[in-house]
Amino acid sequence: MTYSGENPRIQNPLTPEESQKHIQLPKGFTAELFAAEPNIINPIAMTWDERGRLWVVQSMDYPHELENEVGGDRITICEDTDGDGKADKFTDFATKQSLTTGIVKVKNGVIVSKAPNMVYLSDLDGDDVMDQEEILFGGFGIWDTHAGPSNLKYGFDNKIWGSVGYSGFENTFEGEKVNFSRGVFRFTQDGKSFEPLGQFNNNTWGLGISQDFEIFGSTANNNHACYVGIPMKYYDYLGKKPKWAINADFIQGHYEITSVDTIPLQQVDVRGGYTAAAGANFYLANNYPKEYQNQMYVNEPTGHLVHLAKIVQDGGGFKEIDGGNIFASTDSWTAPVFSETGPDGNLWVADWYNPVIQHNPDARGMDNQIWNDVKGEGNAHLNENRDKRHGRIYIIKHKKGKKSSIQSIDPSDDKALLAGLKSDNIFWRTTAQRLIVENKKTNLRSALLDLAKKKEKGNTGVAAHALYALDGLDELKSDDKASMDALKQVLQNGSIASKTGAIPLIPNDEIGSELLSQSGLLEDNYLPLRKKAILKASELPETPEIFASIEKLSNNNTDQDKWITAALNVYMKVENNEVISKNEVEMIIPSAEDAAISWKYTTEKPSEDWMEEDFDDNKWLASDGAIGTPGLNANIKTTWEEDEIWIRRTIDLTESIEEPVLKILHDDDYQVYVNGHLVKEASRSNNKHELIKLDQSVSKYFKSGKNIIAAYCIDTGGDQAIDLGFGKVKGFQADKVISLNTVPQKMAFDDTLIYAMAGQKIELKLKNIDEMPHNMVLIQKGSLETFGKIVDQFLTDPKAAESNYLPKSRYILGATDMLDPGESGVIRLTLPNEPGVYPFVCTFPGHWRVMQGKLIVSPRGTYMSKNPSAPMVAIMGGGGSHNFQEFFGVWDGKILSEGGRSVNYTEETEELASWLDKTDLLMLTNNKPFNPETKSAILKHVSEGKPISINHPSTWYNWKDWPEYNRTLVGGGSESHEKLQEFEVEVKKPNHPIMNGVPKTFRITDELYRWKKDPKGTPIEVLAIGRGLESGEEFPVVWIVKHPKARIVGNTLGHDEDAHGLTPYQTIIRNTGNWLLPPK
């Protein structure tokens, strides 16, 4: 080898033939060159079409964005026309592309990831040249170009799968916001649906699907093997995830790479390990010895190698064992970035072939360092040594490998399609499936059903591919006996791969419940399969058979496998016990947000006993309030700039903390100690104080008298912050209490129709005045008959009496004990957010069919008076940037319901219009647009002299197509506001009824709207102003619009709980309601 330059001294590039001599492979393997420069340069991703032709993304723009409007990337079709094993025909399918990092073949073209967009490039006339470019969706971040989308592939479910790094993704699909980064995802080919699947912990550039349809991935930095055991959707019912809620596991079995290069590797961090891991594809064909099959291959370009990550079962999940390398080079330019099973049944490797691999600018150095800290576009360092002239594609072959029996598949050849579906090569199976679905080959229905039911050879998952082909053709339906019989056959008798693949295809209805319970998969000894069956059961109606299986599993989960435990918790919809709201907590040890406090602190590492009571902290500094980056949080008054900090406080306690709650502000990772005992540790950051309910066992660490509260925090990047306090859980505070009795001599409740609101905290009290035992069990809506069958089955168990005749069904929302005559019991719960009819029953043997009642749960923000002639209040919410329903509908609605008013809340403009004829008071809190009918209905409401309260977002200039609204109803509007922070409110008209009982001045944490009166608008009378503490600027916050026909009140206050929970704000809302609609 020859070298050029000094500091850095760089090896000169080798010819492809010379470089091949430096490649080392296991015995029996060879690496054959398929294509190289000048035809292929900087290959970053590749795929193949149904003709077996290689499609390569040549990325000339990466890592910097294009400098003009014409991109430098191209997609090239490479063909071997003479059969000598090397490409000799190169066709540019698409040129002038930019930042193209992923590619997957679809009908008439390819889908490519080109951040910020996912794009369909189509060939309309079949000449192998792109004719049309269609953006399917956008939303990928581009601030760091090596952290965008990559590794696109056609999934077994007929969707497109991919990975994305920390540049992230943000968009809205079907009305739902998606904000996702550092993980793997899938989307429909039309781009209308997007689902995050697994989230990892750093920059992700790898996605792999095993032969058993299990999901894996890799991250660039020190996590080269990741496993997605439970897709993210199963935790959607949770807010903040508890520790048990595992989505992805980091399963790498080793840190070190096994490089064969004798020259020190050019690695900024994770030196000697995986700092640029790319790809996680599995080898899924039969040309290699068994030990290489169904294993994951991870590229490490800085190590010049392709690593064999051996994946083995580990309980309900998997772990990685170091399998060494299948490809490694002493050529320091060799840089494998992509490897995948090709049409010939061999592993193909894309060699970036470049001396510069490291992306980010970084000041950390080494001898002969090639990178620098000069930042360019795409968050990549500028480097004149980045090469734009080389690239190679290799095929790794084994001496005992056979030539593929399939060279291409004609989409019109049914026999070829079915043969492809039965191939031992994943490429042909997936390609045949894709062609069947894309070309709507419904004529193959019968053959696909037969293939699904046929006994499989080996564990290739052929039957599952046949089922997914049927599903893609919309020929797999729960009301179609033939397709359900085929699905049943696979679930009961298929290979592990096919059973695993088939589970998601079980329909989410009672037929699906029957299929699953009959399959035996809930009791399968292979735990990854059992786990998937439990997860599927969580989506199905709970039948007596499924209940029995889950109960047995719960009782027998003695080894506490983390994946099985998590799946069972998902099935039972176990909540996060750490989550608690501010109004449920009484602070005992204040944080800087609660009181003026001071911490002792140091940024120099102390001795190991720093958190103990006897430690001497007299030489530590003293803080004023919270510590961190100035401006990050209003309570930070002491600056912290170093990487680490240790803090302590001495507190005297006179009371116990039985149910402790930690209140903490942290940026980033922290550990909290009480009297030397670690009580909580967590990572990441939160620049607002959050509340975390701790395990009750923590209470024993607090003592009467002197207590030492200590914490350690480390900054992992960006801002810094640390502050904390402790509180305790208040007693259950019900929003509503409902009392019932049993009826003597009858199996009945004395009230069989009761009412509450979605999300309310309620107490259901039952007094048993009958002469036999009774209980009260509240269950999910629509579950009465199914739950009753579960009860009947459970009561046949001789031990049922020991459980108070109450099965552990997920349908149960709450239950009293079994009450003897004269006893009372109570159910305390927060109701589901979904309105509807929720049955309650008694489960004493023989009672449930007769002893029933209904809890009618109305939508949140709905407070209905029992008086049918009660005055009606309508609240309209909806739009962006606010939790409309919770704060305006529920919190403000409860206040407005005082005095016997009924309150209805909606976010639907059509619904509001239908209410207004019967509405006495209208409260507008929305920023979403109105349709013409609703606009007319609102103006009619005002013209009839009916009052309006216009609050917070509705005082804005929201609707340019409705200027009359702001001019005549609001009297003006806002177009900006100060940041969310504390400001002062001053009452200007203390004698007005709306200001009755409101302090002359008070402070509120809110958005100070820069509201201005319209000079041509309806006159107003300002009742209160807001004054910025920093700016000193003053703006109206509460005013009366002097409309000639109706009373109207404007109020810009009310962004979130800090405002709505404040007593002066609540007084203003109460007084506004009483002034606009006096109670009767």
* 841 Rama sector, left if φ>0, alpha if ψ -120 to 50, beta otherwise: beta
Instruction: State pLDDT tens for residues 423-433.
Output: 999 999 999 99
Q: Which helix (H) or strand (E) holds 659?
A: none
Query: H/E/C letters for each residue in 670-690?
Result: EEEEECCEEEEEECCEEEEEE
Among candidate residues 1079, 1019, 1029, 1028, the one with its CA nearest the CA of residue 1050? 1019
Q: Which of residues 729, 756, 779 is at a domain's end?
A: 729
pLDDT of 375 = 80
Question: Residue 38, preceding bond cis, omega within 30 degrees?
Answer: yes
pLDDT at residue 66 above 70? no
- Asked, for residue 405, whether it belongs to a domain, the answer is no
State whether 838 and 772 are in the same domain: yes
Instruction: State pLDDT tens for residues 836-870.
Output: 999 999 999 999 999 999 999 998 888 888 788 99
Which one has a higher pLDDT value, 371 or 200?
200
**CA triple 729-730-732, angle to 5 deg:** 110
Which residue's entry shows tokens 């405002």?
A: 1059
Instruction: State pLDDT tens for residues 268-312.
Output: 777 778 888 999 999 999 999 999 999 999 999 999 999 999 999
Q: At what angle do helices 462-472 and 481-493 cross, to 10 degrees?
A: 150
Spatial contact of 192 and 174, defined as CB atoms under 8 Å apart: yes
pLDDT-derived band at 1065 (thresholds 50, 70, 90) equals: very high
User: Residue ranges of the alpha helices (H) in 614-666?
Assistant: none
pLDDT of 265 = 78
Instruction: State pLDDT tens for residues 955-969.
Output: 999 999 999 999 999
pLDDT-derived band at 69 (thresholds 50, 70, 90) equals: low
CA atoms within 13 A on the CB side of 344: 19
pLDDT-derived band at 67 (thresholds 50, 70, 90) equals: low
CATH number of the domain within which 776 lies: 2.60.40.420
- Asked, for residue 343, whether it belongs to a domain, the answer is yes
Q: Which of residues 398, 433, 450 is at a domain's end?
A: 398
- Asked, for residue 375, whether it belongs to a domain, the answer is yes
State the burial class of residue 309 (Cβ atoms within 10 Å of its Cβ: 0-12, 13-18, 19+): buried
Strand order in the sheet with 824-830: 736-741, 761-767, 824-830
State the burial class of residue 6 (Cβ atoms within 10 Å of its Cβ: 0-12, 13-18, 19+): exposed
Which one has a higher pLDDT value, 578 or 589?
589
68: Cβ contacts below 8 Å, ≥ 6 apart: none
State whether 794 and 898 are in the same domain: no
pLDDT of 782 = 94
Spatial contact of 334 and 304, defined as CB atoms under 8 Å apart: yes
- Asked, for residue 1014, whether it belongs to a domain, the answer is yes
**29/826 Cα distance (integer angstroms):** 71
- Asked, for residue 1007, whether it belongs to a domain, the answer is yes
Instruction: State pLDDT tens for residues 312-364.
Output: 999 999 999 999 999 999 999 999 999 999 999 999 999 999 988 887 777 77
Flag the least confident range among 61-65, 531-535, 754-758: 61-65
- Asked, for residue 864, whether it belongs to a domain, the answer is no
CATH number of the domain within which 1041 lies: 3.40.50.880
User: Residue ranges of the alpha helices (H) in 503-610?
Assistant: 510-519, 527-537, 544-556, 562-572
Q: For residue 641, how many other CB atoms are within 10 A of its CB?
A: 11
Mean pLDDT of 820-838: 95
State the burial class of residue 731 (Cβ atoms within 10 Å of its Cβ: 0-12, 13-18, 19+): exposed
Flag the least confident range among 91-105, 466-480, 514-528, 553-567: 553-567
Give the torsion sign (CA, 48, 54, 59, 63): positive
CA atoms within 13 A on the CB side of 670: 23
State whether 879 and 852 are in the same domain: no
pLDDT at residue 1070 above 60? yes
State whether 241 and 277 are in the same domain: yes
Q: Which of residues 673, 703, 729 is at a domain's end?
A: 729
The DSSP bridge pattern shows strands 347-351 and 336-341 to be: antiparallel
Spatial contact of 121 and 72, defined as CB atoms under 8 Å apart: no
**CA triple 646-651-653, angle to 5 deg:** 145
Which residue range is the domain that position 419 belongs to?
A: 414-570
* Terminal alpha carbon distance of the chain: 96
- Indicate the DSSP class of residue 819: B
pLDDT of 1041 = 98
State whether 326 and 261 are in the same domain: yes
Query: H/E/C letters for each residue in 895-961?
Result: HHCCCCCEEEEECCHHHHHHHHHHCCEEEECCCCCCCHHHHHHHHHHHHCCCCEEEEHHHHECCCCC
State whether 699 and 791 are in the same domain: no
- DSSP codes of every residue in 708-733: EEEEEEE--SS--EEEEEEEEEPPP-
**394/33 Cα distance (integer angstroms):** 5
- Asked, for residue 404, whether it belongs to a domain, the answer is no
Main-chain dihedrals φ then ψ at residue 346, nearest 5 degrees:
-120, 165
State whether 710 and 762 are in the same domain: no
**616/614 Cα distance (integer angstroms):** 6
State whether 626 and 674 are in the same domain: yes
State whether 135 and 168 are in the same domain: yes
State the burial class of residue 616 (Cβ atoms within 10 Å of its Cβ: 0-12, 13-18, 19+): exposed
Mean pLDDT of 16-28: 97
Instruction: State pLDDT tens for residues 580-622.
Output: 888 889 999 999 999 999 999 999 999 999 999 999 999 999 9
**CA triple 978-980-986, angle to 5 deg:** 70
- Asked, for residue 929, whether it belongs to a domain, the answer is yes
Give the C-alpha distances (Å, rounded to integers) separating 212 from 32, 229, 458, 462, 835: 29, 13, 12, 11, 40
Task: Report how many domains make up the chain.
Answer: 5
144: its two tokens: 């760091």
Spatial contact of 924 and 949, defined as CB atoms under 8 Å apart: yes
pLDDT of 264 = 74
State whether 795 and 653 are in the same domain: no
Mean of pLDDT over the chain = 94
pLDDT of 68 = 52
991: Cβ contacts below 8 Å, ≥ 6 apart: none
State whether 190 and 259 are in the same domain: yes
State the burial class of residue 236 (Cβ atoms within 10 Å of its Cβ: 0-12, 13-18, 19+): exposed
pLDDT-derived band at 65 (thresholds 50, 70, 90) equals: low
Instruction: State pLDDT tens for residues 113-166.
Output: 999 999 999 999 999 999 999 999 999 999 888 889 999 999 999 999 999 999
Mean pLDDT of 1021-1041: 97
State the burial class of residue 129 (Cβ atoms within 10 Å of its Cβ: 0-12, 13-18, 19+): middle
Which one has a higher pLDDT value, 459 or 191?
191
State the burial class of residue 745 (Cβ atoms within 10 Å of its Cβ: 0-12, 13-18, 19+): exposed
pLDDT > 70 in the chain, percent: 99
pLDDT at residue 405 above 90? yes
Among candidate residues 926, 918, 920, the one with its CA nearest the CA of residue 879? 926
Q: Which helix (H) or strand (E) holds 607?
A: none
pLDDT of 716 = 84
State whether 339 and 485 are in the same domain: no
946: its two tokens: 């009916």
CATH number of the domain within which 660 lies: 2.60.120.260
pLDDT at residue 933 above 70? yes
The DSSP bridge pattern shows strands 636-639 and 626-628 to be: parallel
**Hey, is 836 helix, strand or coil?**
strand
CATH number of the domain within which 504 lies: 1.25.10.10
Which residue's entry shows tokens 């206040």?
A: 895
